[in-house]
Each structure stands twice: as structure tokens, then as C-alpha cells.
Amino acid sequence: MEFPAVLFPSYFGAGPPREEGGPSPVAGWGEHGQVLEGGPGRRQVQPAFVPLRGATGERWEAGGAAAVPVLLPSAGCWIPSPAPQDILYHSGPGRKLRAGKSGATLDFAKQMGHFFVDHPEDAFGSLGRLLHKNFYLGNAKLKRPARNSTIRMTALVEDINRLEARRGCPRQHLASRLRWFSHLCRDWLFEVPLGLLADCLHEELMQQWSDLLFDDSLTGGALAWLPLPDRGTRTPVGRLVHPGGQAMNHLYFQDVVLEELPHTRGSPAEFELSGRIRQVAAARVDGQDFVGVRSDYHCGVWRVPAKRGAVPTVLQVIHTDVPASCLTVSPHLPGELSVCTQSGTVYLWNVETGLQQLRHDPQTMFFRDHSPWRWSDFTAHPRVLTCADRTGLQCLDARAPKKCHFDLFKVGEEAGCQQGERVVLPMYLGRAHPSQYLVTTQFSVYVLDERLPLVPVLKWAHMMKAPPLFANVMPGKPGRSHKVLLGASHTQELLLLQYRGGSQSACQLAGTPQKLHDMAGCLQHLPTQLPRRHHLLQQRLSAPAAGLAATLQEDGPHKSMLVFQLSEAGDVFCQRLTHKAAQPPAPPSRDEATTAPGSSPLFEAPASSPHALGSEGEEEEEQTFYLPNLEVIIHDEEEDMGTPAPLEEAELLQEPCASPQPSPAVPSPAAALRYRRWLRALFRTWKEPPRHTWLPSLSQRRLFTRRDLQGTAGPSSLQRQVRQRLRQTMQERGLIQRWEPLAIQPPPLPQTLELAEGLDPLSARLTAAWAGDWEQWWEDRTSFSVAQRQRALRERRRRQKRAKGRRSLSASFTSSLTYQSELSELSDVGPSLRSPGRPLVLSQEGSPRAGSPPVHSLPPSPAPDEALLSSQSLRCRGIPKERRKTLRDYLSVWAEGPPEPPEPLGSQASQLCIPSSQSQLCIPSSQSQLSSASQPRRKRPRMGF
Amino acid sequence: MDSFLEEDEEAPVVVVRGKRRRSPASQAVLQPPLPLPFLPPQPGKGGALVSSNEHKLNFKKSKETCLSYIQDALLQKQWKRAAEFLTCYVESLEKDYSREHIGPSEMIWRIGTEILWHHSQSSMKEFNCFMEQMKTLGVKRYLKVCLEHVFHLLCNGQIDEAYQNLSLAESWRFGEQTAIQDKEMKLIQAYRGLLDYCSWSKQKKILLEHGEDGFAELTIEQEMHGYFRKAAVNLKEIIKIPGVWDVFVKCYVDLLEFYGDHNEARQVLNEYAYNSKFPANPNAHVYLYHFLKRQGESKKSLISALKILHDIVPSHELMIDFNTMLQKSKKRKKHQLGLEVIFAALDYAGWKENAKAWSCLARQVKQIVISETHLDWIKHEWNSRKDWWPAFHFSHYLAKRNWQGNKSLSYEKALVAGILLGKDCKYFKYVLHQGCKAQLKRFWMLKKFVTRHNPVYLRISGRPDSSVQP
């Protein structure tokens, strides 16, 4: 083991870092650092100098346009980790919108509810026993003496049960009895003291927040690659060890064949663990792979013989009281690992002899730092371990840990650190050089030689946006450079560095650092998605990275590198880099023209900028309105997925023939196929996102069966026709400007659709607008023919009379308009309303009305809502009597929900307002909706005077 | 500033257009279209509506965006694209309000340098020109830029230009120097000393080659002496400051030794090796050891020099020499130290398959076993290793691999394993089996030897055994 005869010059000082600074975006460029006389030209007349940085390195080029998924997405929805919006309190509707969007809502009330239900004994145990006598659960009435000290709970329980059915109803707070009860006993009923609970909650929120800023529990990464020796076969095989499952608590050992695109072979060996997997570390000793797995409170070690088809076996599992922060596997001795916990304890863990505590120190080593993060790794000496915290690294001899130790790295002047610099990830580079060590901080990356402690033999400012939490080293053969990959979590950055030296010659950084594709970059190569899906896909692909693994593959003269990246969602993406032999005059068009996509800052913007969030909100809103129509389309698309695929493939296959040099900016056909497969599997696992309760919507499922509401079974022939036409137009990439009457059967389109779906004013309007005849619709709507109104009125009066007996008085106060006033007001307002809403373009564009009057006129039958509501129709639909009232209640509540049509101007409204004391039932027909919506506005002037 | 702009405009544009230059009309057309949407419109051109604060903000924002594009291009080795963006970024110099750690001028220097290093069509002349401009951009950074310029010249073999630049930088004065500038100045002087030393050694070579020319010899000697004085003054300065100065120390000692100033040389080396303010640099001890060896110093002082090296770096490659030196010694204490040294070296992963080290150990162990006098030494060494050496060195897997890779290594290891772990040790058994199968005579001998001395194993491992020989 040689030591370089001459090292690069450097100053050495002791003490705290002197250099002020912060992250600088370009600090790593344009510096040679130092030079050293040496190199091959000893005998020449001129001495030759080599630089510390800037020497030529190997050339590696990205093989594809973007990273490609290796595994199919696992079943089960991924729960994204909380975003800042989930923790920060925002008042107003913005918060609500956001809360519905992200998967991980920190719904405290709900969580408490779960706790109460799951652990009633802990929550209410002793008080329940105390109050046992005072709570009466029977149905019988209470007698007088008992009444003084006992309350009847049956009604309360009923209320609670009813509450469940009314979930989402804006009036649920009307359950006054419940409110009264909770108001009375929320302070004392459950036994977890509120103060304590608040403290715990606060602590948890602080923890979540600090994890958002920087989550060090992921340090080291949860992905490992175990190469298998290839004996005679052409294609190398390896084993990928990765976590998966909804909570990332399943450990998989998956065989992967490294062909052009790596693909899995066989089904993986799976282990279910009792916690989220934070780190997977592996090392090969004596032809066996030892895989250490760390979750917060458990660490386990598996042994996998490096043979094909070998079954991984669990060797041992340990439990820690404090979360473990580090687990590394010894590359020297089988079954030996080192474990650190956040309490500052370092253990040497031998599977045979058990745990040996090497150090226990809650304080940091060189100066005070609040972080409880600790790390430990092995060194060239199997009995000497390093022990690291944020302030530096020390080496401990396991045989005498108290006495024998020395400092390997200090954040300070010794290594030329900046102020505020902290150790992020130390790693033993034993595979590259037995005595080398890698230390990354948020600003720089250092290579240390344990034979020359404290002085880094290599230092370089890595300029990454987030601190590198993952690293991987691929040793180069003698004379070639070692490759180091650095990976960040939240930004998914991947950086490839090369260095050489350490034994014969001093360490040098070779070549320039290179950025590799990240997972989010493949979004633009995926087929276009619907906005909602696009958003979900984007969220999934930009999930923080959780691990990194890489392997070098040598196939004769062709050398390539495969880099695997794991995301928190459990996706594993892979990219291949190919080694290019040195060709001094590289064709300039090659490296210049190819823009590796996805890495450009332009594409990052939509994911993070607050503006984008806002627009997503709008998009969401739109989506909910269109949803009934959209769903049909999505469904078709999914069903038809099998059919268009071959066509696309054929196209893609032709592409390379057309242009002899396929630009790497486009994924290869195989990669495109992979993307599609992955997408298909992904969408299969995605169920329709749950409707959130913040919108005042009621589940109809409890009220009616589907058949009740649907007049005719299955889509009508017209619907089918329309769909077909839509699909055809989409294939032709055309545009439907209006439904041409020729293509549609004589029965008017809107009417049929309305009947099928149950018309609400919005969809009627949209249908009309879609057909290009919105103006006509508006006119029809505002100047409703008197005859129709009369009929509607008559019908309503009849029902009113029937209902009068049953209605409670309070309900009658909701509306105080006579029908007469409503009628006159509408006929007055009509023409004036038309002008502001009337689109100019339409009037210039000829008259769509004239072209197809029969299609667009509204049906002369009573408004479908009414038809639906009339007791006759309800009866004939088989809705039982007691449900009819519920339905009416429901619809009357719901009538307030939809957005209001344009309101009349205030001045007009005030003249028009003729209040009347006659009570009237609020019926959700289109007219009364309009009136009830504009009613509060009209009332205001009266109250003012 | 103006000149910089001109220059910068020139360098990348020449580069971008490649061979087809000098046709202004086609220039705009020939500029490759930027692969990304262009930057947001430059503030200022937006009109007078923008308030000054907003203007500043916009400017800052577009500056940052531009920088991120450059960064992106650099990390993807798209030098041409980066150069184009850099020409836009130059505008950021115009209003440099920043009080950041690294200002725009430094960024331009760093990025520009990086681009010019790698750009397929850049030339040394352009690089020099760019550097000259950069030197004028910041007073605080002058020395640093000079140093970097010199480094680049040196790496490209332009020693004379580098020397000129160093001299120029050395004579630069600007107000009071900061601590960092002071350090940089010292480095500049030291590198100048190094180049003087290079010239000196060149002259020395000439002198030694044509030794007999009387007249020429005199002038050359004079010149040499001039170089010596210049080099010695500068080198002497820097090696006083704590740091890693292997190059400079080596040169300085070489100079001193040539002129017979051995005391000074020894003092320098001692200071470099033993001053506690200096980092624990193994090379310092190696230099001292080689110096002492050259001086023909006594074994004792050589051993003490190596002993200290052994204490700080037990895995140093000189430990083999140290071990043989100790073995040759007549004192028992030294023998014991030798055993300790070789055991300690073999603890390290880097020595695992070092046949030389294993043969050293095997030889010494064999000697001890035959003489049966100092088995307690082995026992002492083995005690702290017996729980992990078997798995680390003597596993069945390693036996197979060593046998396939290096037969003599496995022979030596098998000998050690046989003595330390007895004849039932897996490693020993496997190697012996293979050796006997291959009908190699020395393995028969090995078997005999180990079987005869098997009780030693029992004594070393500290097992109670009645049949221990007296």
C-alpha cells in the first residue's frame, strides 16, 4: 500500500473555519487548485506539471434521453410526504384547496378520532368507569330521582350515527345536542392532558418541518445493487435490493438482467418489516453479500450468497430505543456491522458476538451542534471504525475505543471549510482505495486519506442545490479513474465525479463533473396526460430521491455504467452511460446539439412555483365540473390502450430509419415502450382520488341506487354516436367546432342528454355552448315562454299544497318571494341580462340559431328537476315515501351549491323587489334557484333603511 | 470594462462560428438556435413603466436564470451553449449591487475559465487574453487569478510564460494585504522558487553532462548559483509556514545537499517532520529517513525515524524495510518490534494479499517456532487478533482465491495459519490439500513442519495442554 511520494501543496491551519461564505452556484469551476511537478515527463527537459483539478478524465455519455423505470409500480397508492403547505397554517379557501390536493394531510382531528376509536381504554378508561352510573344507554325514559344525576345517551348516539350519513353537509353543525355535549366535556372527558397533547403535537410538527428542510434519516440511501458473477452467460445479472409497498416497509431482492434496458427476472424475494425502510447498506465479504437494513427502531441483516437463485436469509434483527441514524456493513469481516443511534451511541454489531458499544456521547465531537445525527463506517483496519457527527470524523479502535482514537476530519480551518459547513455523508471508499474516505458537506466534497488525517487530499465545491445524501463509488482499474456518484434527495440531483490517484500519485480530480438525468426529467417523454393525471404524475416523478446504486459493466471494449435511482414513491429508475474512448476532436454538433432534457431549469418551474399551484387550483375546479363527461373518455382510453399501442410502436420503429442518427433527446423505442407499460401499470393502481369533504356534496349512494336515477340502461345510441365521433375527431386530430346536425339524429341532442343525466342549469348551458348556440339558450332561459311557466307554476302549487301539512314552519322562512314577483322580475330582467353575457363573436358569425332551431330549443316539458322531484315521478321510480322527503331536503340544500348565473344589476334589483309574506316552498327548479340566489342582495337595501 | 466586453464578445463568437467567419450578414443566421426558450425579456427594455425597485428585482431574477442555464450547460459539457449564455451574463457586471460571497465578476472568471479549458476551439492565446482581462476585474482576486493562470500555463508546458507571470504578480502591490492575499503571495513566491529550482536542476544536468569544459562550466556554475539563491530564498519562506509542502521541501533539501549544507537540510527535515503545528504527513518522515540513509547515518537513528513513521502510519510501505532492518538487528527487543510491525501492517486491508509481507511474517514466525524461545511474543500479538484474523485472512473462500491467484502467497499464509490456528485450520487444510494434489514438494515439507509443531498452536491459543514440551 503505497503512499504518494509527493502531495499537492496546501496550507494547514487549526481552528474554526475562517472563510466566510455560503452556497455559491459556481464555486467549483475554473480552478486548478494547485499544481504538482510530476507526471510522465520526468526525463524531458521541461518539467511536467499536473493540476489538482482539471486533468482530463474519461468521457461518459448518457445513453438515453431520460431515466427509464426498471420496476413496475407496486400496487397500492403512494402517500406523498407532507409538503410545507400541509404544516403551515393558511387561512381561507387556499388552504382548503391545497389540503384536498396533497395526499398527506395532517388532519389532526381525524388522527385523534382514530386514536379514540382504536384505544378507547387509554383515552377514556378511568373516566368512563367513573361516569358509568351517570350515563344511561337504554331506551326507556328516566325516572325522576335518577334524572338529576344521569343523562340519557341514546339520543346522542343516534345523532352521532346520523352525522356519519350527513358527512360533508354544511349544516352538520346543526346537531346542537352533540355540540352541547362536546362543549361540555371536551376538556376533561379524555384522559390525555391537553397540554401534553399540544406539546407532543408541536414536537411532531417541528420534526416534520425540520424533515422538510432537511431529512437526514435517508442518509446513505435505501437502494443497493448486488452484482452476480457472470459465468459464461452473455448478459450480466445482478440483484437489486430496494424497499417498496405503501409504507416502504417491504424489502425486495429482485433479480435484474442488464440488457440494453435492465429488466427484472422472476419474482422478487419479499420481506415485510415493521417500519419504514430508511437505509439499505450492502457489502460483499468472502463471496457473500451482507445487506443491512435500517428503519427507525429496527436494524436487520440479511445474507445473500452471490449465486444465482440464492435465497436471502435473515441473520439477526436488533431493536433500538432511540432511532438509529446509521447502519454500515463491514467490507472486511462477514456479519459485522456498525450501528449509530441518535443518542450518540456507536455500536459494533457482530452477528455472532452481538453488540459492542464503542462510544456513548450525546455531545458532538469538535464543537456544539444540535443535530443528533451520527454516522459510523469502517476503515482500512477491520478493528478501527470511524465515528462521525455534523462536526467531523474520528477514528476509534474497537479494541480500546476509549484510549485509541484520532481525528480524521474536522469542520474547520484544517480542511479549509466555510462557516456553517457541516458533514452530511461520510463514506469509506475501500473499494477504490483501502485507505480513502469520502466526506460530503452541503458545499463541498472531500477525499481523505486516513494515513494523513485532517488534511483532505482532494477538495471540490460540488455546487449541488441540496446536500448530497447518497454516494456511490465505482472503483476504476489501475490507471483509470474512480467514479463517484453523488445524489441529493429533494432535488433528485445526480452528479458524476471522477478522481484518480492515492497510491503512486497524489489524488487528482479528473474530468469535469457531469450531471445525470433525474427521474422528473422523464415526464416530458411520457405521453400527454389529462391535466389531473399529469399533475399526479408530476407529483410522483418529482418525489424526493431515496437511494442510489450504480454498477460498471464491461463488455469487451464497450464499457458502460448503469445508475439506479430510487424515489420515495418506491419507483426505481435507471439510466445507462456509455464510455467513449478519447477522440480529441469530438464532432461539435454531437455534444452541443443534444440537450439532455429535463435538467433545464425551465422544466422545474411548474413543479415548485406558487403560481403554478394557483393555476392547478383552477384546473381542479374545472375538472370537477367536467367530470361526468371526462370520466367516459378516460374509460374509453384505458380500454382501448391495447389497440393504439402497436400503431405507436410501429411509428416509433420507423423513426430511426428516417433519421440515421437518432437524437438522444428522444427516448429509444424500447424506452418508450417501457414508459408506456409503466404508465399503464401506474394508472391501474391509481384509483379515482377520493372526493374530499370540503365541498358541500352529498353522497347519493345512500339515497338511491344507480338504477333509480338512471332512466334508461346503458348509453343511448346517440351517446354512442357522439362518442364515436369524438374519438374519430381525436384520431384525426381535428376539432369539433359544433355538433353538426347532419351527423346527429333528428331528436335534439341536448334534450336527450339532459334526460339521461338529470339536467342542471350548468350542464344545459355548457351543452348549449358546446353546440355553439349559447346565445339562443340564454334567450330561452331568460324569456321563458309564459305558457311553460304557467304549467310549471301550476305543478308546483299542487305539490306545495300537498306538502304544506308536513313542512315544518322553519323551512318556510327560507324563501319569501311569491311566484308572481318572480315571474315579472324575470321577464323584466331578461333583455338587459343578455347584453353583458352575450359573446360578440357569435353574433358576427352568422346566426347559429337560424341554422338549427329545433336542436337547441329547450324542451317544452316541465324542467327535469321538477319532474324528478314530483312525488309521482318519485313514486314511479320506486322511491319509498319516507325517502322522498329526504331527497327534497337534499336537493334544496344542494341548490345553493352550483355557481350562480349572472345576477341582475343592483339598481334593477331594488326596483324589482316586491317582498311578500306568503310562505313558499323552495323548489330547486331553475327559476327559483335564480331567485333564491339573488335574494340576499335584494334584501339588503330594505334592511338598511 | 469596455475592453473586457469586447474581448469576451470576441472569444466565444469566434468559437461559435467555427470555420465560417467574417460574414456579418450570416452571423446571426449561423448562430445555432438556442435549444431552450430565451431568457425573459431584459428589464430596462421593458419601458419606463417598471419602477426602479422592480427593475432591480427583474434584473436579479434574469441574472439568476441565466446563471442557472450556464450551470446546466456546464454540467452537461455543452461548452458552446454555456459560452452563449455567458455572453448574456456579462451584462450582470453592469450593475453589480451584490454583496454576495462570490460576485458576478468572479463568476465570469470561473465560468469563462472552465469553458475555455474545454471548448473544442479555444486556444491558449484566447485563454491568456481572457485571464489578463479577468485580472483587472477585481483587486481582491488579482493574486488568485494570477496563480490560476500560472497553473494553467504550467500544465500546458509554458514554463517561461508562467515564470514571467509569477514575477509580475510578485511585484504587484495594492494597499494592505488580507490574510488570504498574504498566503497567495507566499504561494506565488514559492512557485517561483520552484521554477528557479527547475532551471537550476536543468543547468546542473548540463553541467554534469559536459563536465570538462572549463570556461562554459564557470558561467553555468554562476548561473546555477544565481538560481540557487533565488530559489532558496523563496522556498525557505514557505516551508516555515505550517502546511503540506512536499514539493518545496524536496527541492530545498536537494539544493542544500548539493551545496553541502547538510545541517540546514537536516534541520529543515526535522522541522517538517516533527513540528507539531504541521500535519502528520508521512512523507515528512519518509524524506527524513531517506536523507538519513543518504547521509549514512547509524542503524539506530534510521530505526528511530521509522519507528515514528510506524507509530503514525502502521500501514506504510516502508514497514517491510523496517521489518527486515529489525530482523537483521542483534537485539531481541528489535526482533520483537519487527514482529509487531509486520503483524500491524497485515492488519490493514491494503496488505491483505501482499506476498512479501506474508513471507516476512512466515519467516519470522517460523524462526520463533523453531527456536521455541519467544512464543510469548507471538502469543501477545495473536491475542488481540485471534477473534478476527481467522475470518479476515484465513477463511475457506480466501484459501480458494489465494490458491488460484498466487500460490506462493497461499503457501506463506498457510504456514502462518498452520502455526497460529493449528493443522485443522480451514485455510491450511485447503491449501495443503491442493498443494499435495499438485505434488509440490514444499507443501509436503509444510505439512511435516506444522504437524511437528502443532503443540505450539495450543500454547499460543492459550489452551490448557498437558503435552506441552518443555
Mean pLDDT of A848-859: 40
Q: DSSP letter at A275?
A: S
**Number of cross-chain residue pairs from A and B with Cβ atoms under 8 Å apart:** 216
| Cα separation, A204 vs A198, whole angstroms | 10
| Cα separation, A412 vs A416, whole angstroms | 6
> With 80 as the cut, is the pLDDT of residue A369 above it?
yes
The gap between the terminal CA atoms of chain B, to the nearest Å, is: 92
For the ranges A301-315, A634-648, B152-166, the lowest mean pLDDT is seen at A634-648
Q: Which three cell numbers stand for residue A40?
A: 510522465
> With 50 as the cut, is the pLDDT of residue B20 above it?
no
The pLDDT-based confidence of A876 (bands split at 50, 70, 90) is low
pLDDT per position as a tens digit, B110-126: 999 999 998 888 888 98
| Cα separation, A424 vs A409, whole angstroms | 13
Residues 321-340 of A with CB under 8 A from B: 331-334
By the CB < 8 Å criterion, does A419 face chain B? no
> With 90 as the cut, is the pLDDT of residue A582 above it?
no
* Cβ pair B151:A5 closer than 8 A: no
* Cβ pair B67:A26 closer than 8 A: yes
* Cβ pair A332:B190 closer than 8 A: no
The CA distances from residue A819 to A569, A870, A917, A918, in Å, are 58, 18, 12, 10
Query: Which of B118, B121, B247 has its CB closest to that of A9?
Result: B247
Q: Which three cell numbers stand for residue A681?
A: 401499470
The gap between the terminal CA atoms of chain A, to the nearest Å, is: 98
Three-point CA angle B47, B48, B53, nearest 5°: 110
Give, for A251, the enclosing helix (H) or strand (E): strand A250-257
Q: Looking at per-residue confidence, does A640 or A429 come out higher?
A: A429
Quote the minimal CA–CA distance from A67 to chain B in Å: 15
pLDDT score, position A499: 94
* Cβ pair B107:A11 closer than 8 A: no
Query: Which of B74, B151, B159 has its CB closest to that of A32?
Result: B151
The pLDDT-based confidence of A205 (bands split at 50, 70, 90) is confident
* Cβ pair B81:A46 closer than 8 A: no
| Cα separation, A437 vs A10, whole angstroms | 19
Percent of chain A with pLDDT over 90: 28
The pLDDT-based confidence of B63 (bands split at 50, 70, 90) is confident
Q: Which of A205, A261, A314 is nearest to A70 (CA)?
A: A261
Contact A551, A528 (CB under 8 A): no
For the ranges A128-137, A457-466, A781-790, B364-373, the lowest mean pLDDT is seen at A781-790
pLDDT score, position A284: 93
pLDDT per position as a tens digit, A678-695: 998 888 877 655 544 454
pLDDT score, position A187: 74
Mean pLDDT of B422-427: 88
Contact A371, A422 (CB under 8 A): yes
pTM: 0.72
pLDDT score, position B292: 94
Percent of chain A with pLDDT over 70: 64
A551 has which bridge partners? A562
Quote the minimal CA–CA distance from B370 to chain A in Å: 30
* Cβ pair A601:B69 closer than 8 A: yes
> With 50 as the cut, is the pLDDT of residue A836 above it?
no
- DSSP H helices, A489-643, are 531-541, 588-593, 601-608, 610-639
Percent of chain B with pLDDT over 70: 83
Residues of B in contact with A21 (CB under 8 A): 101
pLDDT per position as a tens digit, B78-135: 899 999 899 888 877 766 566 666 677 888 899 999 999 988 888 889 899 999 988 8
Q: Give CA A138 to chain center in angstroms.
A: 48
Contacts of A658 (CB under 8 A, 6+ apart): none
By the CB < 8 Å criterion, does A463 face chain B? yes
> With 90 as the cut, is the pLDDT of residue A495 above it?
yes
pLDDT per position as a tens digit, A381-404: 999 999 999 999 999 999 888 888
Q: Looking at per-residue confidence, does A871 or A33 come out higher?
A: A33
> With 50 as the cut, is the pLDDT of residue A571 above it?
yes
* Cβ pair B155:A600 closer than 8 A: no
* Average pLDDT value for chain A: 73
The pLDDT-based confidence of A221 (bands split at 50, 70, 90) is very high
Mean pLDDT of A118-133: 84
Contact A367, A349 (CB under 8 A): no
The pLDDT-based confidence of A155 (bands split at 50, 70, 90) is confident
By the CB < 8 Å criterion, does A582 face chain B? no
The pLDDT-based confidence of A633 (bands split at 50, 70, 90) is very low
pLDDT score, position A926: 40
* Cβ pair A453:B280 closer than 8 A: yes
Coil, strand or helix at A16: coil
Mean pLDDT of A455-462: 92
| Cα separation, B311 vs B325, whole angstroms | 16
* Cβ pair B187:A512 closer than 8 A: no
pLDDT score, position B34: 36
Q: Looking at per-residue confidence, does B41 or B252 come out higher?
A: B252
pLDDT per position as a tens digit, B323-356: 999 999 889 899 999 999 999 999 999 999 999 9
User: Helices B104-118 & B79-89, crossing angle to 10 degrees?
Assistant: 150
pLDDT per position as a tens digit, B145-200: 999 999 999 998 888 999 999 999 988 887 777 788 888 999 999 999 999 999 99
Query: Which of B81, B101, B347 has its CB closest to that of A21?
Result: B101
Pairing of strands A237-244, A250-257: antiparallel
User: Helices B396-405 & B426-437, crossing angle to 10 degrees?
Assistant: 30
Reported ipTM: 0.86
Give, for A165, the enclosing helix (H) or strand (E): helix A154-165
pLDDT score, position A325: 94
> With 90 as the cut, is the pLDDT of residue A65 above it?
no
DSSP code string of A304-319: EESSTTPPPEEEEEEE
Residue of chain A nearest B347, judged by CA positions: A381
Residue of chain A nearest B280, judged by CA positions: A452
Quote the minimal CA–CA distance from B29 to chain A in Å: 16
> With 50 as the cut, is the pLDDT of residue B23 above it?
no
By the CB < 8 Å criterion, does A453 face chain B? yes
> With 50 as the cut, is the pLDDT of residue A745 above it?
no
Q: Which of B124, B121, B227, B240 is nearest to B183 (CA)?
A: B240
Q: Looking at per-residue confidence, does A84 or B43 come out higher?
A: A84
The CA distances from residue A856 to A246, A518, A587, A769, in Å, are 51, 52, 64, 10
Residue tagged 485455510 (cell numbers): B427
Mutate to test the interface with A, among B241, B272, B348, B384 (most CBs of A within 10 A): B348
Q: Which of A826, A846, A840, A828 is nearest to A781 (CA)?
A: A826
pLDDT score, position B469: 41
* Average pLDDT value for chain B: 82
Q: Which amino acid is at B129?
A: C
| Residue B464 CB coordination number (10 Å) | 6
Query: Which of A21, A29, A452 has its CB closest to that of B280?
Result: A452
Quote the minimal CA–CA distance from B159 to chain A in Å: 8
Q: Give CA A481 to chain center in angstroms.
A: 38
